[in-house]
């Protein structure tokens, strides 16, 4: 959207989010290195990105059982597991809060986000993906329509991108 806006090109981007809000299914925290964020939004600090707690120390422990742990000496910890030092500050974050903030930035650029809707089927015509069908709303557990039932809608697009988390439908077989 940033590139389309800069080039004054009309572009419609729609994000369908199965969670009740963007970030609803992101439960973990993370140590986050903001290099890619700075490429998208060089002014992320001024925009209020939820990166507030710098990672200032690394401690890696070997958990022996439910009650015992041993600190691993830093020299034995792989470089990729060090979250401090280097040329960029890393931050301890809530990944859900970062997702919500990114959604706000996307909406500010004109991206349409529809939370609470899951893609039910892929629309395939002439051997190509043409969009998705959103699942019906207001359906009982047995599949019968309830009061307020709303049939799913077709969302057609020139390009359809699918993104799923590690525990999404594609990972569950």
Q: Which residue do the tokens 């009740």 mark?
A: 20
Is it the case that residue 126 has pLDDT exceeding 90?
yes
Domain coordinates of the chain in residue numbers? 2-117
> For tokens 């057609």, what's the residue?
156
In Å, the largest CA–CA distance within the chain is 63
The beta strand positions in 18-111, using DSSP E, are 29-32, 53-54, 61-63, 69-71, 91-94
What is the spatial distance between Cα 104 and Cα 107, in angstroms, rounded to a whole number? 5
* pLDDT given at position 29: 82
Coil, helix or strand for 94?
strand
pTM attached to this predicted model: 0.78
Q: Is 3.30.450.20 the CATH classification of the domain at 2-117?
A: no
pLDDT in tens, 11-46: 989 998 888 899 888 878 888 989 999 999 999 999
Measured CA to CA, the distance from residue 25 to residue 96 in angstroms comes to 8
**DSSP alpha helix (H) spans, 29-158:** 35-40, 95-108
* 57-115 pLDDT tens trace: 888 899 999 999 999 998 888 887 777 776 678 899 999 999 999 999 999 999 999 89
Look at residue 150 and tell me whether its pLDDT is greater than 80. yes
């Amino acid at each position: 959207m940033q590139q389309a806006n800069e080039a004054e090109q009309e572009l419609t981007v729609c994000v369908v989010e199965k969670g009740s809000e963007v970030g609803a299914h992101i439960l973990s925290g993370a140590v986050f290195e903001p290099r890619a964020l700075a490429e998208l939004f060089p002014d992320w600090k001024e925009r209020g990105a939820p990166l507030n707690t710098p990672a200032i120390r690394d401690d890696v422990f070997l958990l022996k059982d439910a009650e015992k742990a041993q600190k691993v000496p830093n020299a034995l910890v792989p470089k990729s597991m060090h979250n401090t030092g280097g040329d960029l500050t890393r931050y301890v974050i809530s990944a859900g809060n970062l997702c919500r903030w990114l959604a706000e930035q996307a909406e500010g650029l004109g991206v349409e986000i529809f939370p609470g809707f899951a893609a039910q089927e892929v629309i395939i015509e002439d051997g190509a993906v043409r969009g998705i069908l959103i699942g019906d709303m207001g359906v009982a557990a047995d599949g019968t329509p309830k009061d307020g039932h709303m049939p799913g809608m077709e969302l057609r697009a020139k390009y359809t991108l699918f993104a799923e988390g590690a525990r999404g439908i594609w990972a569950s077989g």
